[in-house]
Amino acid sequence: MKKNNDLRPTSERLKIILHLIFLVSFCVAFGPILNAQLEISGPSLLCTSGQYYLNCECSITWSCTSNLTMTSQQGSNPCTFSANGNGLAIITATIYCGGTQHAYDTVWVGTPIIEDVVDEGKYPSQHLYDCSFWPAYYDISEPEYSLDVDYPGEVWYCDQSWAQVYLPGDPSEYSFLLISTNTCGYDWTVFYWDDIWGDN
């Protein structure tokens, strides 16, 4: 007859077995969630407010950087954020599900911001000058550009983030109006020929 070395009462052994079953069930149910790369769903361009969602049944704590304010109750899923500035913002979801995991989403808040105008070449004998704008049209701020120039100069081409202008006479006499637009509004700047092509 095989000797039983486990002298614990039957009820205690039953508790241990039930606890082990719970642990196995927990790992099966939530292990994939903890190991998966969770992603926040929501608009990448936010004008006034937007909802962000995480496909997860666990407890979530939301936070955000400047330019956004959380307007939902903490732990809501989806969670609403409202604009309070203009520029980049990061939304963070901290997930608690037998462990801690973080998910992030980068959002552009509000109108585009014109950062730079860059010389892309000049051809004085043809009175032609090329330039590009930053950020590019495929940036998260989704800018589209329009360009105007003093008469008798002409904008021969302006599409997305690149333009070519025709400047008869003395090019240093010209000024330009650049407007960047997205669905939230616009930004604008005035620059001069010397600012872009004059030092080259």
pLDDT in tens, 110-149: 999 999 999 999 999 999 999 999 999 999 999 999 999 9
54: helix, strand or coil? strand
Percentage with pLDDT > 90 across the chain:
76
Look up residue 113 and give its DSSP letter. Answer: -
Q: Give the model confidence (pLDDT) of 13-39 as tens digits.
A: 454 444 444 444 444 444 444 445 689
Per-residue pLDDT, 2: 38
98: helix, strand or coil? coil
Predicted confidence (pLDDT) at residue 52 exceeds the cutoff of 80: yes
Query: What pTM did the predictor assign?
Result: 0.76
Q: In this structure, is residue 73 part of a structural domain? A: yes
Of 76, 109, 142, the one marking the end of a domain is: 109
Of 90, 109, 128, the one marking the end of a domain is: 109
Q: In this structure, is residue 148 part of a structural domain? A: yes
Number of domains in the chain: 2
Q: In this structure, is residue 160 part of a structural domain? A: yes
Instruction: Tell me the CATH number at 98.
Output: 2.60.40
Q: In this structure, is residue 32 part of a structural domain? A: no
> How big is the chain by its Cα radius of gyration, in Å?
29
Q: CA 175 to CA 63: how far, in whole Å? A: 44
Q: In this structure, is residue 103 part of a structural domain? A: yes
- Using 50, 70 and 90 to split pLDDT, how confident is the model at 88? very high
Domain span at residue 82 reads 40-109
For residues 148 and 80, membership in a common domain is answered with no
